[in-house]
Amino acid sequence: MIAGVFIGYKMKDGIPGKSFFYMEKRRPIQEILDLIENKYVDQVNLTSITDTAIQALLAKLDPHSTFIPAADLSAVNDDIKGSFYGIGIEFEIFDDTLNIINVLKDGPGFKAGLLSGDKLMEANGITLAGKKVAADSIRKILRGERGSSLQMKILRNAKVLSVEVKRDIIPLTSVDASYMFDSESGYIRLNKFSSQTYREFMMALEDLNKAGMKKLVLDLRGNGGGVLEEAVEIADEFLEGDKLITYTEGKHVPRKEFRCRRQGQFEKGKLIVLADEGSASASEVLLGALQDWDRALIVGRRSFGKGLVQEQFDLSDRSALRLTIARYYTPLGRSIQRSYANGEKAYYDEIVKRYSDGDSMIADSVQLKGKKVYSTPSGKKLYGGGGITPDYSIASDTGKIDIALAKVYAKGTISRFGYQYFLNHRNIVNEYKEPALFSKSYQVTDADWNDFVNIASRDSIRLDSLKQEDKDFLLRSLKASIARQLWRNNGYFEVYNESDKTIQKARELLK
């Protein structure tokens, strides 16, 4: 026994966080939680209190270190993974009824016979029609283990049908759209960087190369980032040699460099990359690398300004912590991260302030005043901090937004019009065959506009006092909404991009 005590005493320094006989003082946060659990006057949900306390703790660090409760972790991981197990439908809730607006071709729902226009009444005994159910709650009902069954009741042509669907893998695609502007100019839009993004991007790039593409517009607007390595792989397709793409470094993380490793598929063609305040993180890694090496022109608005790297740590209760462990830097050594010294609210309010400032080159020059200046190989001047500043700035529309126009978007009225138009004109796809022909030839008629006005009125939205420019904008949006129903996102962006100012500028620069 004496020998054991002696050995234990000698080993005490090797036991992390424990002193001999565990005489270490407990942290006040744990003491407080114990007192609440054992002494508080009412029964409390200690898990909820703990989650709130953790969020408050992380708020003192930086805006991007986050705690993910166990209930939310699966959905978060699905987005990174780029897939989930479900039935393969897209839905919208109109008048408290879940409408299936699209069925993934060759997916589980498609094989079970579901059609666009079906109304989902019940799923596994849970009534979904006639009451307000949050979209997130519906997704949790529809998703499940691979191979598991979902018993559904649907309404089709006034008849109730019973359908059984076997859940299977459903991709969350990163490529929103990919098509040719003309005989030599292509377009690819990425909405995120998941673990499948590089594979999807290469498939799109190869198809465009086969179509004769010599120039490319890569659209990263609204792309909030994701998996860093996927952005690095895509950068490698544009940069030659063993050029540095980015590097990361932190107090407890040594410098790690990411370099080109192979010959890329588009190292020579003219390249334009689109960005805005929604382009963040991994998007900025790609933007920074291409700008630093003079490989691409950046068009649009200043990017978000997130230069922090998070690592996910799984916790014992199946929750997770995404903790900032390093900063990333562009090849020239620029840190893109904006200051968060004034707290999280001020940090995110800065994005809103860009709109009030006009988000023009003037506003950007104010933002960049006093920043460290870097020079590219061609001698172009770049700046660190505050995001990636575009080479050609396209200011956002800062005019006063009509209240009716804002309501139309908030209530999904445009999507409802596109869906109902499709149900009443299913053969339209046979007439136009492809988005390019639809974009060139189709026009929203006065009768279509009146239908839209009637739909809006059911949502308590009056459109009789719209300015002409707002009406023109809505007409373009209605046309794009119909195209989405016919050809999904690819059709939507091919039609919508025809009147997009940023796209128009990019195409001018390609000439």
Tell me the pLDDT tens digit for each residue of 327-376. 999 999 999 999 998 888 889 888 877 766 655 444 455 455 567 889 99
* Run of H or E residues at 83: strand 83-86
Q: Which of these is catalytic: 185, 196, 291, 310?
A: 310
CATH architecture observed for domain 175-393? Alpha-Beta Complex (3.90)
Q: Which of these is catalytic: 281, 303, 393, 415?
A: 281
Residues 6+ apart with CB under 8 A from 17: 24
| Highest mean predicted confidence (pLDDT) among 272-281, 419-428, 431-440 | 272-281
Mean pLDDT of all residues in 155-177: 95
- Closest by CA to 91, choosing from 68, 69, 126, 115, is 115
Active site residue 162: no
Taking the C-alpha atoms of residue 335 and residue 246, their distance in angstroms, rounded to an integer, is 10
* Run of H or E residues at 67: strand 66-68
Please give the pLDDT value at position 367: 54
Taking the C-alpha atoms of residue 99 and residue 116, their distance in angstroms, rounded to an integer, is 8
Q: Are 240 and 209 within 8 A, CB to CB?
A: no
What are the φ/ψ torsions at residue 107 (nearest 5 degrees)? Answer: -85, 180
Residues 6+ apart with CB under 8 A from 423: 116, 117
* Run of H or E residues at 85: strand 83-86
Active site residue 195: no
Residue type, 232: V
Domain ranges of the chain: 83-171, 175-393, 403-510
Active site residue 310: yes
Q: Are 392 and 297 within 8 A, CB to CB?
A: yes
When pLDDT is cut at 50, 70 and 90, the band that residue 137 belongs to is confident
| Tokens encoding 458 | 């059911």
- Closest by CA to 185, choosing from 220, 212, 210, 203, is 212
- Closest by CA to 178, choosing from 214, 219, 212, 226, is 219
Instruction: Return the CATH number of 83-171, one of 2.30.42.10, 1.50.10.20, 3.40.718.10, 3.40.309.10.
Output: 2.30.42.10
Please give the pLDDT value at position 26: 60
Please give the pLDDT value at position 128: 86
For the cut 50, the answer to whether the pLDDT of residue 20 exceeds it is no
Q: Which of these is catalytic: 185, 196, 215, 306?
A: 306
- Closest by CA to 452, choosing from 474, 470, 436, 433, is 474
Please give the pLDDT value at position 8: 65
